[in-house]
Amino acid sequence: MSAYLNTRVSLYASRLWPDAALDNLVGATDEALAVTLAQRGLGQLALNGDHLAGQRHEARSLEQRIITQILDETRVLIRPLSSEARAFLTFWTARFEMSNVKTLLRSKMGDERPAVVLARLTPMGAFGRLDNQDLAHAEDVGELLRRLEAGPYAGIVRHARHAFEQTHDPFNLDAALDRAYYDGLVQRARLLEKTAGASFRQLMANHIDRINLVWLLRYRFNYKLPPAQVYYLLVGSHYGLSGSRLQELAALESLEAVLAALPSPWNEHLSGLTGIPGVFARMEHVAAEQALQVLRSGAPDIARAFAYLILRERDLRAVRAILRGRHLGLAAADIRTAMRRNPAGVN
């Protein structure tokens, strides 16, 4: 184990937010909110000077600041890591660069000027692997995909390009990028599972099972896609919801039937739910409880670091909901609903 990493994780863990502390932010004064954020290492989120440029700009700036905070903390945590553990946490941050890739692709579909799209991209700092200036000046979507396919995310983009060439549907492009990214994450996690232990594997299982089930429900019952296409868009998995299980679930005709057919323990956790947002919230709550157990345990250092990052990102999403809600003048009850801290069906 790395003494540095475990000490750093333990220090960072003091920044995590109990539900009551987050709840207090909803009605706090601006001064009290700024002090509380600073005490938990988030002083930069209290900066509100850019709100004069409009709500859309403010929301984007807040999102960028939150991602920057996540990247900064991840950069500190990977310092003592090497080999597969370092590769895994580095690839974990690539989710944000994939969002930049989607923004670049949409900009080409909408014929936006390069300067406009570049201002919308999230700075990746030391984790950035793409030449955004070069990509933003590609002539069209096809040229952009070819440039991306020659870069560090070639394996991810190759599948997406094939999907787009077949249908020219932006949805298929986004879905293919998402699936290929998470396939890559699972591959990197498998290299760690023997040394990182059962706790790390359970964190990954909860994460990938949640992604696959929520995607399955959305694709099947919101977008009305056929079972075969739904299954094709899901992440290849060796966790609780295996590939064969997902194929069976995708063939069912209702959300209720899918939930009833889930294996243990998901069938118990999700019993009584009637909507996809509730499924997501309940599964996220279960994953957060598991991550907190790992963080407080003597699990391998990479597992504790991963658990912390899962919990920290969840906290920051709740803080984002509070800050946006306050900026928009939403009622306290609406802000608390947007925070999604309690599992669906639990008061």
Place of tokens 């600073």: 38
What's the one-letter identity of residue 2?
Answer: S
pTM (two decimals): 0.91
Residue 53 has pLDDT above 50, yes or no: no
Residue 159 has pLDDT above 90, yes or no: no
Q: What is the pLDDT of residue 342?
A: 64
Place of tokens 């070069």: 134
d(CA 198, CA 203): 9
- Contacts of 237-243 with CB under 8 Å at 24 or more apart are 237/186, 237/208, 237/209, 237/212, 238/186, 238/190, 239/201, 239/204, 239/205, 239/208, 239/209, 240/205, 240/209, 240/266, 241/208, 241/209, 241/212, 241/213, 241/266
Q: What is the pLDDT of residue 39?
A: 83
- Give residue-wise pLDDT tens across range 278-295: 999 999 999 999 999 999
Q: What is the pLDDT of residue 58?
A: 53
Share of the chain above pLDDT 70, in %: 94
**84-109 as b/e: b if 16+ CB within 10 A:** bbeebbbbbbbebbbebbbbbbbbbe
Structure tokens at 173: 């492009």
Least confident of 31-35, 175-179, 317-321, 337-341: 337-341
Give all domains of the chain, ordered by start, each with its CATH number. Answer: 94-191 (1.20.1690)
